[in-house]
């Protein structure tokens, strides 16, 4: 009995030795472990982001001279690593924070990924990034908005997307503009799903509203998997706010707008904080009852021939529909990560981390309407921003700020009466 | 007035809870068998309704009937091809078989329809009626009323007809029923058909009012178990009362205390009630 056990122990030790001795990128690839909700309530968003990441990897890995000077598009692979290709490993956390944590650990310890990315739901990004910090593997947070993800003093976590407080300030600037234009914005209602994402954005909005002197008439936290929201809509109806801001995922956002129509409640303006309002299934489901509903987006398809237009064409060829803001922000974060990998010129985690801290992308090197990508000490992109868009007909038009606007803002919203 | 509106909304939703839960309670009452795939039956009913509308047009009457029929057939097939065999196995394999079935159904639908949320195109069932200041969305109103009628109908079928007597006979004493010339397999297949059919029609009715995705069955499955446990395992009228009560409590507590507390209130009351009356409202002790 004794000998076999000894033998197997030796084998395990040898295997551990050899796997440690092997270089991580033997095949000339850089492994990116990506953690998204590919099934479950947010599966649609996760699947769309997965397609976006695959398009981005295609742009980096293959020669795309038609993209002009867009970073990493012209040649094949990462030039500073001898044309090394990006290899994407997708795992599905189903919207479950503890699963996200386990999967991040597995990606690091078993798949030996060089960098991590994810995780859509803020609650999942929160847990998964802790793993990256522990193992010293760079983690790019693609688009989760909760403040607390980058406020823990982590060294290894970077975030390309704007965050809750950026959005909250944008809304207040917009309301101030509206007030100047003579619209009535005397009370705000905030309706948020009650996980990290909804809570932190709603907290930020309530804070900023207080600072900007816009009274919050009512705040309604709810559970995103609710099958019935009429009680909440009736609470809103009772308070009569001038603007209702929804921080919602997909099914709940659709349910709210349909229920509002059914209960004959139409506030002067509805603003959706992206996410559910940007889900590909949102417009087809509610366009007939949600005319004039607003949403935020840093993504605009742009004119034919532009880089953004070409990216959208590639995404469309893959999925049959236009790229949405959520997936586009993930894609931008992915490009920022690829840029840093290239500058690092190696898969050494510390070199990648340093390259990330030195990131300085200019607006013309981006696909999004940010002022740039540059990370502060906490890992947050300080040059990110957003536009406001409005549902007119069966699509969103860019309506604010005035300088970038492509269509005229309608206030109050017409909802279902046209 | 607002409160009255909330109550009406809760009761309409509760009626649908009652309908899809009655199918679950039927299977339990007949066979002492827990079907974890019941929520997925509701989900399939929703997709059948969608396909019927997309392919053939057709109003709510058409697609509800189609969903009921399709799920009835599926229920019988599942009984014949799976349940009949696992019934001979130990309790654990019975439980796990329907659990596996649930996952199989859910992820097959994921594969076919993708994870996107879908909703029925505007059908003839839309708009809102105003009854003395209470607004009732037509889809929910029709769904609620039809659900109550069907649940009561199912109860009458079980208690007032020969078929019902045969079903009950099999559940009470399988061997004695066989001696009386009843074929237990046929009766149990029928029960599975009825159970799945009720879930299917409930799904079709829900589809008129709510957007959904392939994972919707999870939510409905859990609700069904709570309704059945509260109403009393095996009791169709119990499921009816329990469904209405849960719909009502959810709505009122969401309105009074806020939506994040509604499930706390529901489950707290649920636990207290089971503590006082472990067999459920109408269950046999």
Average pLDDT over residues A393-404: 87
Binning pLDDT at 50, 70 and 90, where does residue A16 land? very low
Tell how strand A157-159 and strand A188-193 pair up: unpaired
Percent of chain A surpassing pLDDT 70: 93
Q: Determine, yes or no, domain membership for B52.
A: yes
Can you give the residue ranges of every domain in chain A?
27-162+303-365, 165-297+387-400
- Strands, E assignment, chain B: 128-131, 134-137
Distance in angstroms (rounded) separating the CA atoms of residues A125 and A40: 16
Average pLDDT over residues A21-36: 72
Question: What does the CA dihedral B213, B129, A284, A267 come to, rounded to 10 degrees?
Answer: -110
Burial of A207 (0-12, 13-18, 19+ CB in 10 A): middle
pLDDT in the model for residue B77: 96
Give how many domains chain B has, as a whole number. Answer: 1
DSSP symbol at A347: -
Between residues A160 and B135, which one has the greater pLDDT?
A160
* CB-based contact A254 B119, cutoff 8 Å: yes
pLDDT in the model for residue B133: 79
Mutate to test the interface with B, among A48, A198, A224, A262 (most CBs of B within 10 A): A262
Q: Determine, yes or no, domain membership for B129.
A: no
A43 at interface of B, judged by CB pairs closer than 8 A: yes
Compute CA distances B38 → B30, B34, B103, B184, B229, whole Å: 15, 9, 11, 22, 14
Between residues A271 and A197, which one has the greater pLDDT?
A271
Name the helix (H) or strand (E) containing A31: strand A29-36
DSSP symbol at A69: T
Tokens of A216: 């919050």
Contacts of B176-185 with CB under 8 Å at 24 or more apart are: B185/B84
Average pLDDT over residues B138-159: 89
Chain B nearest-CA distance from A368, in A, is 25
pLDDT in the model for residue A267: 96
CATH number (domain holding residue B37): 1.10.3470
pLDDT above 70: residue A26: no
Binning pLDDT at 50, 70 and 90, where does residue A23 land? very low
Report the SS3 class of residue A121: coil
For the stretch A312-347, pLDDT in tens is 999 999 999 899 889 999 999 999 999 999 999 999
Binning pLDDT at 50, 70 and 90, where does residue A417 land? low
- Tell me which residue in A44, A221, A225 faces B258 most closely, judged by beta carbons: A221
Chain A nearest-CA distance from B261, in A, is 8
Chain A nearest-CA distance from B193, in A, is 26
A13-17, A147-151, A313-317, B120-124 — most confident range: A313-317
Closest-CA residue of chain A to B206: A227
Closest-CA residue of chain A to B212: A251
Q: Which domain holds residue B23?
A: 2-116+137-276
pLDDT in the model for residue A406: 85
DSSP symbol at A278: G
Tokens of B73: 């057939």
Cis omega (within 30 of 0) for bond into A412: yes
Average pLDDT, chain B: 88
pLDDT in the model for residue A67: 92
Closest-CA residue of chain A to B13: A228
Please indicate whether the domains covering A27-162+303-365 and A165-297+387-400 agree at the CATH topology level: yes
Binning pLDDT at 50, 70 and 90, where does residue B124 land? low
A125 at interface of B, judged by CB pairs closer than 8 A: no
| CATH 2.60.15.10 fits domain A27-162+303-365 | no
Binning pLDDT at 50, 70 and 90, where does residue B210 land? confident
For A39-43, A54-58, B225-229, which range has the lowest pLDDT when averaged over its residues? A39-43
Burial of A405 (0-12, 13-18, 19+ CB in 10 A): middle
For A1-10, A38-47, A189-198, B265-274, which range has the lowest pLDDT when averaged over its residues? A1-10
Of 3.40.50.2300, 3.30.420.40, 1.10.1280.10, 3.90.780.10, the CATH number of A165-297+387-400 is 3.40.50.2300
Residue B261 CA, distance from chain mean position? 24
List CB contacts (< 8 A) between A416 and chain B: none
Chain A nearest-CA distance from B163, in A, is 35
Q: Determine, yes or no, domain membership for B123.
A: no
pLDDT in the model for residue B125: 67
pLDDT in the model for residue B285: 57
For the stretch B14-55, pLDDT in tens is 998 999 899 999 888 888 888 999 999 999 999 999 999 989
* CB-based contact B211 A194, cutoff 8 Å: no
Tokens of B218: 């999870």
pLDDT above 70: residue A15: no
pLDDT above 80: residue A206: yes
Binning pLDDT at 50, 70 and 90, where does residue A8 land? low
Binning pLDDT at 50, 70 and 90, where does residue B192 land? very high
Tokens of B27: 């299977």
pLDDT above 50: residue A6: no
Q: What is the CA radius of gyration of chain B?
A: 19
Closest CA to A257 of A277, A235, A242: A277
Closest CA to A39 of B91, B22, B49, B218: B218
Binning pLDDT at 50, 70 and 90, where does residue A385 land? confident
pLDDT above 80: residue A415: yes
Interface of chain B against chain A, CB under 8 Å? 2, 5-6, 9-10, 13, 107, 110, 114-119, 122, 128, 135, 137, 140, 209-213, 215, 219, 250-252, 254-255, 258-260, 262-263
Q: Determine, yes or no, domain membership for B128.
A: no
Hey, CA dihedral for B240, B246, B251, B253, is it positive or negative? Answer: positive
pLDDT in the model for residue B76: 96
Residue A413 CA, distance from chain mean position? 27
Q: Determine, yes or no, domain membership for B199.
A: yes
Closest-CA residue of chain A to B12: A228
Q: Which neighbouring-strand residues pair with A396?
A: A391
Q: Determine, yes or no, domain membership for B231.
A: yes
pLDDT in the model for residue A2: 45
Mutate to test the interface with A, among B259, B263, B267 (most CBs of A within 10 A): B259
Q: Determine, yes or no, domain membership for B271.
A: yes
Mutate to test the interface with A, among B14, B110, B115, B127 (most CBs of A within 10 A): B115
User: Residues near B79 by Cβ (< 8 Å), separated by ≥ 6?
Assistant: B188, B189, B192, B193
* CB-based contact B117 A288, cutoff 8 Å: no
* CB-based contact A258 B250, cutoff 8 Å: no
With a threshold of 0.80, does the pTM exceed it? no
List CB contacts (< 8 A) between A258 and chain B: 209, 211
- Tell me which residue in A228, A231, A250 faces B117 most closely, judged by beta carbons: A250
Cis omega (within 30 of 0) for bond into A119: yes
pLDDT in the model for residue B31: 82
For the stretch A71-121, pLDDT in tens is 999 989 999 999 999 999 999 999 999 999 999 999 999 999 999 999 999
Burial of B278 (0-12, 13-18, 19+ CB in 10 A): exposed
List CB contacts (< 8 A) between A38 and chain B: 115
Tokens of A386: 């957003």
pLDDT above 90: residue A191: yes
For the stretch B62-96, pLDDT in tens is 999 999 999 999 999 999 999 999 988 888 888 89
Average pLDDT, chain A: 89
Closest CA to A158 of A319, A329, A378, A334: A378
Distance in angstroms (rounded) separating the CA atoms of residues A384 and A403: 17
Compute CA distances B179 → B160, B176, B183, B184, B190, whole Å: 22, 5, 9, 10, 19
- Strands, E assignment, A164-267: 188-193, 216-222, 243-247
């Amino acid at each position: 009995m004794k000998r076999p056990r000894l033998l197997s122990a030796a084998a395990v030790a040898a295997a551990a030795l050899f796997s440690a001795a092997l270089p991580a990128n033997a095949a000339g690839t850089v492994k990116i472990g990506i953690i998204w909700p590919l099934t479950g309530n947010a599966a649609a968003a996760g699947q769309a982001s997965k397609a976006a990441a695959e398009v981005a990897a295609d742009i980096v890995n293959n020669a795309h001279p038609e993209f002009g000077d867009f970073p990493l598009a012209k040649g094949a692979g990462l030039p500073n690593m001898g044309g090394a290709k990006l290899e994407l490993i997708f795992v599905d956390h189903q919207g479950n924070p503890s699963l996200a944590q386990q999967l991040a650990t597995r990606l690091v310890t078993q798949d030996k990924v060089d960098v991590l990315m994810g995780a859509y739901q803020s609650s999942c990004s929160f847990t998964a990034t802790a793993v990256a910090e522990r193992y010293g593997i760079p983690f790019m947070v693609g688009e989760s908005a909760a403040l607390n993800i980058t406020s823990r003093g982590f060294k290894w976590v970077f975030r390309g997307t704007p965050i809750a407080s950026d959005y909250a300030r944008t809304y207040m600037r917009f309301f101030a503009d509206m007030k100047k234009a003579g619209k009535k914005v005397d009370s705000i209602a905030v309706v948020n799903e009650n996980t990290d994402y909804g809570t932190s954005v709603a907290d930020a909005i309530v804070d900023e509203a207080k600072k900007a002197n816009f009274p919050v008439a009512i705040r309604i936290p709810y559970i995103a998997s609710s099958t019935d929201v009429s009680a909440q809509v009736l609470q809103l109806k009772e308070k009569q706010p001038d603007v209702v801001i929804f921080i919602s995922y997909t099914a709940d956002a659709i349910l709210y707008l349909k229920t509002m129509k059914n209960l004959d409640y139409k506030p002067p303006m509805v603003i959706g904080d992206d996410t559910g309002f940007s889900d590909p299934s949102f417009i087809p489901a509610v366009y007939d009852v949600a005319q004039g509903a607003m949403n935020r987006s840093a993504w605009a398809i742009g004119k034919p021939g532009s880089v953004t237009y070409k990216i959208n064409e590639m995404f469309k060829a893959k999925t049959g529909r236009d790229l949405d803001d959520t997936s586009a922000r993930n894609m931008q974060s992915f490009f920022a990560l690829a840029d840093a990998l290239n500058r690092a010129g190696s898969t050494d985690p510390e070199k990648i981390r340093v390259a990330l801290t030195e990131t300085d992308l200019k607006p013309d090197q981006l696909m999004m309407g940010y002022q740039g990508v540059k990370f502060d000490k906490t890992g947050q992109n300080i040059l990110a921003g957003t536009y406001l868009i409005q549902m007119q007909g069966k699509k969103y038009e860019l309506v604010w700020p005035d300088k970038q606007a492509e269509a005229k803002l309608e206030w109050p919203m017409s909802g279902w009466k046209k | 007035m607002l409160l009255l509106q909330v109550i009406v909304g809760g009761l309409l939703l509760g009626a649908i809870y009652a309908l899809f839960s009655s199918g679950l309670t039927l299977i339990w009452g007949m066979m002492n068998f827990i079907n974890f795939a019941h929520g997925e039956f509701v989900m399939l009913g929703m997709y059948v309704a969608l396909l019927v509308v997309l392919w053939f047009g057709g109003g709510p009457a058409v697609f509800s009937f189609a969903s009921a029929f399709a799920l009835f057939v599926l229920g019988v097939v599942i009984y014949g091809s799976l349940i009949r065999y696992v019934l001979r196995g130990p309790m654990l394999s019975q439980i796990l078989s329907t659990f596996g079935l649930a996952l199989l159904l859910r992820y097959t639908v994921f594969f076919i329809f993708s994870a996107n949320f879908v909703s029925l195109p505007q059908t003839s069932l839309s708009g809102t009626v105003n009854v003395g200041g209470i607004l009732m969305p037509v889809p929910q109103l029709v769904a609620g009323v039809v659900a109550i009628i069907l649940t009561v109908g199912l109860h009458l079928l079980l208690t007032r007809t020969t078929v019902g007597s045969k079903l009950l006979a099999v559940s009470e004493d399988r061997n004695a029923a066989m001696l009386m010339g009843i074929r237990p397999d046929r009766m149990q297949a029928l029960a599975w058909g009825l159970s799945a059919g009720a879930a299917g029609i409930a799904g079709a009715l829900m589809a008129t009012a709510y957007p959904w995705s392939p994972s919707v069955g999870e939510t409905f499955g859990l609700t069904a178990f709570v309704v059945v446990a509260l109403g009393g395992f095996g009791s169709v009228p119990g499921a009816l009362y329990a469904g209405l009560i849960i719909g009502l409590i959810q709505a009122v507590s969401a309105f009074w205390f806020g939506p994040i507390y509604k499930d706390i209130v529901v489950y707290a009351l649920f636990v207290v009630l089971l503590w006082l009356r472990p067999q459920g409202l109408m269950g046999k002790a």
